[in-house]
A and B are shown apart, each in its own frame.
Chain A
Amino acid sequence: MRARDINKVELVKQKAIELLVDLGFEGFTMNKLAKACKISVATLYIYYQDKDDLILKIGIEEVERISAIMLENFDPESSFEDGLRQQWKNRAKCLFENPLSAQMIEQLRTSTYQSKVLGIFGKNFKGPLGKFMQNSIERGEIEAVPFETYWSVAFAPLYNLIRFHNEGQSLGGKPFVLTDEILWKTFDLVLKALKK
């Protein structure tokens, strides 16, 4: 049995992410990916059953990788402010350094692959972030609110800023670059909103 060529596998993954972001899921084909990687279509089909299988497998691998980065140095026992700040720091850094993966994950989020992909995020984050939220509520640092409310205030602003930055523009085509100043000023407001 031939051993898998790790470099080739990585190349396929990288190119797949680039093409998915560039062409969208509809425009993406195994043929185009094979050409971009300079391999035969047959080689791709050895490892992946079809387009759906490839997108799912690569999508899930990326989500796992990104989840791990986002949880680095995060302590569920830390104070609400420290913990949330660490989360913002991790997620901003991660999404800055992996803009294509960030865009691909956004696309996955609003696609038919949604539940499988979101399931992985849920699995990885539920434990530590759930505990963190619980601790903060028990300590009286934040109010108990529905999870969706909490997430929408705690993280949606960050994701929006990053999206604007990666697209180079905010609303109405207004050019935008996310600076540290804007990032942490937004964080301060979020903290103010959530803290009791």
Chain B
Amino acid sequence: MDINIEHILLFKTNIRSEGDKRYIGKIMEEHRIEEWTVDLHDIDCVLRIVSPTLKLEEVINLVMNSGYHCEVLT
């Protein structure tokens, strides 16, 4: 599988529980973001989005407006 690295957006969040994930899921759906995952097992609760169009700031605003912390993962 060839991945275009440019299209992968990574964030540190505090989306910790299944409940949090479900909530974010609704937000993602509302904004038609389809390819996304949250690693609930990891200390950084990494939000990973695959999108050719979305920008980092857009996602950060979206998640923070939903009440969660979100910053770019380095």
Contacts and interface: CB of A to CB of B under 8 A. Distances in A.
A42 B46 CA distance: 9
Q: What secondary structure prevails in chain B residues at the interface with A?
A: loop
Interface stretch (A43-51, A157-165, A170-178): A43-51
B3 A41 contact: no
Nearest to A1: B4
B41 A52 contact: yes
Contact of B46 (A1, A30, A47): A30
A27 to B, nearest CB: 11
Given A42-B10, A46-B3, A31 B44 contact: yes
Nearest to A53: B37
Size range of the chain A interface in the assembly: 10 to 19
Interface in A30-46: 30-31, 40-42, 45-46
B62 interface: no
Q: What secondary structure prevails in chain A residues at the interface with B?
A: helix
Interface in B34-74: 37-44, 46, 48, 73-74
Contacts of A51: 39, 41-42
Nearest to B40: A50
A31 B10 contact: no
B39 A30 contact: yes
A29 interface: yes
Interface string A1-25: 1100000000000000000000000
B2 interface: yes
Interface of B: 2-6, 8, 10, 37-44, 46, 48, 73-74
Given A45-B46, A50-B41, 16 more contacts: A1-B2, A1-B6, A41-B73, A45-B8, A45-B10, A45-B48, A45-B73, A46-B8, A46-B10, A49-B37, A49-B39, A50-B37, A51-B41, A51-B42, A52-B41, A53-B37
Interface of A: 1-2, 29-31, 40-42, 45-47, 49-53
30 contacts: A1-B4, A1-B6, A2-B5, A29-B41, A29-B42, A29-B43, A30-B42, A30-B44, A30-B46, A31-B43, A31-B44, A41-B73, A41-B74, A42-B10, A42-B73, A45-B8, A45-B10, A45-B39, A45-B46, A45-B48, A45-B73, A46-B3, A46-B5, A46-B8, A49-B37, A49-B48, A50-B40, A50-B41, A51-B39, A53-B37
